[in-house]
Homo-oligomer: A and B are copies of this chain.
Amino acid sequence: MVGRAVVGQAGGPSAVINQSLVGVIQETVKYGHIQDLLGARHGVRGVVDENFVELKRQPSEMLELVATTPGAALGATRDRPDGEYCARMFEVFRKRNVRYFFYIGGNDSAESARIVQRIADEQKYDLCVIHIPKTIDNDLLATDHCPGYGTAAKFVTHAFMGDDLDNRALPGVKINILMGRRAGFLTAASILARQREDDGPHLVYVPERPFAIERFVDHVGESLERIGRCVVAVSEGIVNDAGELWVEKVSVLGQDKKLSRDAFGNLQLAIGSGSLADYLAGVIRNRFNRVMRVRADTFGYLQRSFAGFYSEVDAWEARLVGQMAVSYSLDGDRSGSVSLVRLPATTYAVGTRLVDLSEVAPDQPPKTRKLPDAFINAAGNNIDPSFREYVQPLVGTLPKVGWFERIE
């Protein structure tokens, strides 16, 4: 089936989403089935606005630079198209003889892809829709892991290695809030930072287990008792025993009318994830009355965008899923999502397969993947060491650190 193709990027950018884009471009050039490759500016928004860029004739040196650049070279979008929006997209596709749609993004993007594909089916228009996975949260269904996750996990690992050394130098309690609203994969990766028995993070809290202040205070107290310090990894998606997000509970304070007026000119105070960090630090500071350093940081966007820093494996796999999307489209008769499959081998190896869009974007919940129970300890405050085997190959080699043997 010969026709045009559209490629787009969606959702939060990552350090390797441009690798997938470049994979699509480079593979497209190899074959004859795609006449023009149109890059949609800002994802589905660029489709309905017909804001396209021709990508087949971009110089290859420039493509290699784009590949290692964080962000989303075509621009991304937070638009979550409904049926009508997807119908408008389809009309643009039909008008321009677009026969292939490659969409790089998370499960929302897979859902958009699926709706467009369904409309094309109903209209008896041949359209091959391939979803290319991307999310630092690693919470997509039907894939071993997601491109973007390995690099974010590497960032988190390096951050905790350094932060734990900082905490050894000036002991106290340090709390770090990590990305991951629905799943604890990224927060769990922090345990890779541990090399010595008493290295941090000493406590790890993920959204998959309820978080209670009283238990948290007890856990920190035990760590202080044991080693005189405590480094904590907390997912921004932690919930209380009732299943409510802590970050929103804390924000309620900011929405309180009494708070909306302040000393600087009637400005409303908005409290976000930065305040979850400050809130938890405040709790610890108030419970331990002795002189104790308590600090908290929120890693924020650095986790997905730090320039010049990526996992080699993650970059390679992100390129691979882009290339494979075009390769799968050669048949032209099957839509789907490119899934990474971990091969049973003594050293790490992956393959890909094309899974149905309904596997990544099902009609019924759960629509995303949780951190498996086996990786979470019974107390719900730490990650099982077996998780290392899963995540280490995705992150790659860690920096070596040194310390004086007789010093502790």
Q: A residues within 8 Å of B by Cβ?
A: 9, 12-13, 15, 39, 41, 53-55, 58, 62-78, 158-159, 161-163, 165-166, 168-170, 174, 193, 213-214, 249, 252-254, 258-259, 262-265, 267-275, 277-279, 281-283, 285-286, 293, 295-302, 304-309, 398-407
Contact = CB atoms under 8 A, between A and B. Distances in A.
Contacts of A405: 62
A58 B402 CA distance: 12
A43 to B, nearest CB: 10
A66 B402 contact: yes
Contacts of A162: 15, 70-71, 301-302, 305-307
Given A53-B406, A66-B403, A282 B296 contact: no
Contacts of A174: 301
Given A282-B269, A307-B158, A169 B402 contact: no
Given A307-B158, A307-B399, A274 B270 contact: no
A357 to B, nearest CB: 24
B263 A165 contact: no
A299 B268 CA distance: 24
A-B interface, 10 closest residue pairs, ranked by CB to CB distance from nearest: A65-B402, A270-B282, A308-B399, A71-B165, A274-B274, A297-B300, A162-B305, A161-B307, A72-B169, A66-B402
Contacts of A161: 70, 307-308
A298 B300 contact: yes
Most chain B beta carbons < 10 A, residue from A78, A279, A309, A406: A279
Contact of A302 (B65, B299, B400, B403): B299
A297 B177 CA distance: 11
Contacts of A169: 9, 13, 71-72, 75-76
B268 A69 contact: no
A145 B301 CA distance: 29
A165 B404 contact: no
A163 B402 contact: no
B62 A402 contact: yes
B308 A302 contact: no
A299 B301 CA distance: 10
Contacts of A306: 158-159, 162
Given A275-B275, A308-B399, 19 more contacts: A13-B165, A53-B406, A67-B402, A68-B401, A69-B402, A70-B161, A76-B169, A78-B293, A158-B306, A158-B307, A162-B301, A162-B306, A249-B264, A271-B275, A274-B274, A295-B301, A298-B300, A302-B302, A308-B398
Contacts of A282: 254, 267-271
A163 to B, nearest CB: 5
A25 to B, nearest CB: 10
Nearest to A276: B274
Given A58-B404, A163-B302, A168 B41 contact: no
